[in-house]
Amino acid sequence: MCGICGQLRFDRRKVSSETLNKMMLKLARRGPDSNGQWINGKIGFGHQRLSVIDLSSLGSQPMIDDKLKLSLVFNGTIYNYKSLRDQLTSKGYTFFSQSDTEVILKAYHFWGENCVKYLDGMFAFAIWDSSSHQLFVARDRMGIKPLYFNTTSEAFTFASNSQALMTQSLDKTINPIALQQQLSLHGVVPAPNTIINGIQKLKPGTYVTIDSERNIQENTYWRPNAKRPVGNVSEEEYIERTHELLTAAVTKRMNASDVPIGVLLSGGLDSSLIVALLKEAGHERIRTFSIGFEDIDDEAGSEFEYSDQIVSRFDTEHKKYKVSNQEVLPRLSEAVMNMAEPMVGQDAVAFYLLSEQVSKHTKVVLSGQGADEAFAGYFWYPRMANEDGDEIERFSKHYVDRPHEEYLQTVANRYRGENHTRSWLNKEFSKPGADSFIDKVFRTDMTRLIVDDPVKRVDNMTMAWGLEARVPFMDTELVEWALSIPPSLKMKEEGKHPLKNIARGLLPESVIDRKKGYFPMPALKYIQGEFLEFMSDILLSDACLNRGVFDRSYVNEVIDSPRQYMTALNGSRLWHLALLEYWFQINVDA
């Protein structure tokens, strides 16, 4: 796991070391173990390394293979690298390291652009082929690893976060389409857009090729269906296959490492099941980590009563952290500084603070992200399924943060326009390969929305402390299978029926049958006291007024009655506005 950056120039100028240095400084926290640069005239790569596989210098990057005339920078982990290595060895390739990085180089040389179809893992990488003078850039199927880029007539520049790109000369104005999506889809701006006009991001399951003449070709190599399998499959067979695939997903993420691995244990079904399956697979002395915050009113700030049960049952090596609200506010700026894009999910700050502590004990953790989207764990899925009428309206009523009419009231006149969010949803729902409306919802959530919400938050907040997070529930084969399961089966037992069935006998019933919980940070949901003062100051600041994004009268109404402005998903509209402006002040204005 690392931070990568690079540049291919089209104007016949050489890439400068200073250009790479500026970007690498913004990536340093992603890879604190070592760093490296490689420049060859018009092409240059930079790399910040977090050593997880092949800890020796032989696994360092940028990795150059003079014999094959290939150079590579890579962020991520390839779980099947050992089997691919054996396959490529049988084809006559020799290896100088034990790393998954080198396997990608050889795989590209042998399979060309199709190499991505053989890679099982999370990845973002760039390969320069000096024979063809072509740059190949790819991102994993689920978009777990980020890849941002800027394209001008002078150069193609890429990096693992937007902060690195903003060290370069680019258009930092606000993208109006992204702004609407940011405020409508609780912080989700689907690729290729970002909130910054001059920065784009590579879509999940996609690769691009760029040559020296600025010819750019984009190809999508993975498009999952949400259709039932051919032939009759019983409920028991659906659940049994889910058990097999989830066990394999957990095990291969545990085994692909040369350093110890822990589990982020929230106390919910998903992370608890990961611990149980590790134990079932024979792993002993499992490391677990939990965090909790102060309660506000009836809103619990921790799930310790459940995580403690898992620790007791499986005798894990556990560390528990309790954070007061007084500790949260002074650390908000740090978390926001490490957000590649504005992230309104209240658990972003929680993950940031937890990762700080966990990184003192391990470099790699497993996390339960993706289970709710894959197996229907959220309350809004059955509500959508029970609605009639227009599909976009059925979805939007229970998911979109503010109707388009309210969005028009939220922003200043120059950012008002057509309903881009509805247009995007209509495009996603119109894609072939889904059996029903709710299948479309699951596919859109799992393959597009989750990428730029919980997955991005976990990557950014863990990597801010040089901590690699692996997400078994987002295993490609498991996701494809989950999308094929009848929605009615997934939504039984108030959601996640297959996972609950697997957990019976493994986990305490109190953990399985508890009401669905969320990574709690009540202070960012029910805004009051110093948090209200803090957010008010941001939204009434000169910087915010001069930026001119929000309608002033609307902002004043939200500040005056923050608890009257909650979203369909029970988030705070005030926090959404304040976070967006705060992100600009810290990451763009600075």
- What's 90-126 look like in SS3? HCCCCCCCCCHHHHHHHHHHHHHHHHHHHCCEEEEEE
Which residues fall within 8 angstroms of residue 208, CB to CB, at 6 or more apart?
Answer: 136, 137, 138, 202, 216, 217, 218, 219
The SS3 call for residue 518 is coil
Active-site residue 2, yes or no?
yes
CB 503 within 8 A of CB 243: no
Residue 470's H or E segment, with its range, is: strand 468-470
Work out the burial of residue 361: count CB atoms within 10 Å of its CB; fewer than 13 is exposed, 13-18 middle, 19 or more buried: middle
Kindly name the residue from 2, 5, 115, 544 that is annotated as catalytic.
2
The phi, psi pair for 227, rounded to 5°, reads -130, 155
What one-character DSSP code corresponds to residue 131? T
The SS3 call for residue 173 is coil
Strand ranges across the sheet with 287-293: 317-323, 287-293, 261-264, 364-366, 468-470
How many whole angstroms separate alpha carbon 102 and alpha carbon 60? 10
Which segments of 358-466 are extended strands (E)? 364-366
Beta 287-293 vs 2-9: how paired, if at all?
unpaired
What one-character DSSP code corresponds to residue 30? G
Which residues fall within 8 angstroms of residue 454, CB to CB, at 6 or more apart?
Answer: 345, 347, 369, 370
Which residues fall within 8 angstroms of residue 118, CB to CB, at 6 or more apart?
Answer: 80, 84, 107, 111
Residue 148's H or E segment, with its range, is: strand 148-151
Residue 127's H or E segment, with its range, is: strand 121-129
Neighbouring C-beta atoms of residue 419, cutoff 10 Å: 19
Going by C-alpha positions, the residue among 218, 226, 192 that lies closest to residue 486 is 226
Which residues fall within 8 angstroms of residue 196, CB to CB, at 6 or more apart?
Answer: 162, 166, 170, 171, 172, 173, 174, 175, 588
Encode 326-343: b = buried (16+ Cβ within 10 Å), e = exposed: eebbeebeebbbbbbbbb
CB 48 within 8 A of CB 24: yes
CB 292 within 8 A of CB 264: no
Which residues are catalytic, by number? 2
